[in-house]
Structure 1
């Protein structure tokens, strides 16, 4: 089975995340998409980042009606700070029958060459890239790389930061969140 790993803090998960995950599931050769919730780095003070279990719960509720998308706690028990290469090694050892691929935005592709052991990642894993509105030149370093696949997904310029700020300012952000996530955030009084 070919699994696309979509990493994020998902603080909160929003309709942009779901649109991209679903597009990857429907319009690529990936069988499943795992939404990998990035844990709170214990060495960084970030008060706006909800606890891991709350973000996992929101992702779980958001993807409940999608057969091909599921939440993943894969990084929760790994030593922090963690690197993507370590997560890939961990998952490959734990699930040897699966083929793991990365899903990333074009903006992340620009900095891929700075990632820890990026050559090893590219040697063993395919990367599925979705478009972003980018400032400056498009990344060409990896053009025609056999492991990098550009997927013509919708461009989603919704950010979790924008949603958190909207909630703090008392704005109606309901259309930007899956209904279950909106209810959870509202009932828990998050981001106010």
Structure 2
């Protein structure tokens, strides 16, 4: 089975994430997309994150109506901080019959050369890149790499940061979350302080 891995803190997961993942699984050769919930990115401060189990619960709620979309807490069990290359090796050992690929935005591709063992990742894994405009378009020599596949997924400029800030400022952003995700976040009073 060919599985696209969509890594992120998903703090919280929103309709933009679902649109991209669903597009990938419906309009590429990926059979499933897994949202890999990251406990601590080497590039993010931990104090802004909801607890791991809450972000996983929200992601599980978000994908419950999409049989080709799954969640994974695999990184919760790995040494911190997490590095994608280590997670890929661990997933391959756990699921030897799966072929894993990465899903990332163009903005992340620009920084791929800073990732731990990025050459190993590019040598062994396909990368599906979706368009982003928030960072501005720049030329990237990696776009011509044989393992990089540009996918013309819809451009969705919704960010988890914007959602958290809007909830704190009491704006109605329900349209940016699935109804069940909004209900859970609202009932738990997340992001209000």
TM (norm. structure 1) is 0.95
Which residue in the other structure is 2:8 paired with? Answer: 8
Q: Which runs of 5+ in 1 are unaligned?
A: none
Alignment RMSD (CA, Å) = 1.6
TM (norm. structure 2) is 0.94
Higher helix share: 2
Distance 1:163 1:134 in 2: 16
* Structure 1 stretch displaced more, 32-41 or 11-20: 32-41
Tell me how far 1:65 sits from its aligned partner: 0.5
Residues 1:187 and 2:191 are matched in the alignment: no
Distance 2:165 2:116 in 1: 32
Tell me how far 1:45 sits from its aligned partner: 5.7
Q: Which runs of 5+ in 2 are unaligned?
A: none
Q: Tell me the alpha carbon deviations over residues 136-159 of structure 1, each in whole angstroms, 9 at most, x when there is no partner.
A: 552331133210000000001101
Distance 1:109 1:41 in 2: 16
Contact 1:109 1:139 in 2 (8 A): no
Cα separation, partners in 2 of 1:181 and 1:136, compared to 1, 3 Å: closer
Q: How many residues align?
A: 191
- Where does 1:4-83 land on structure 2 (aligned, <5 Å)? 4-40=4-40, 46-83=46-83
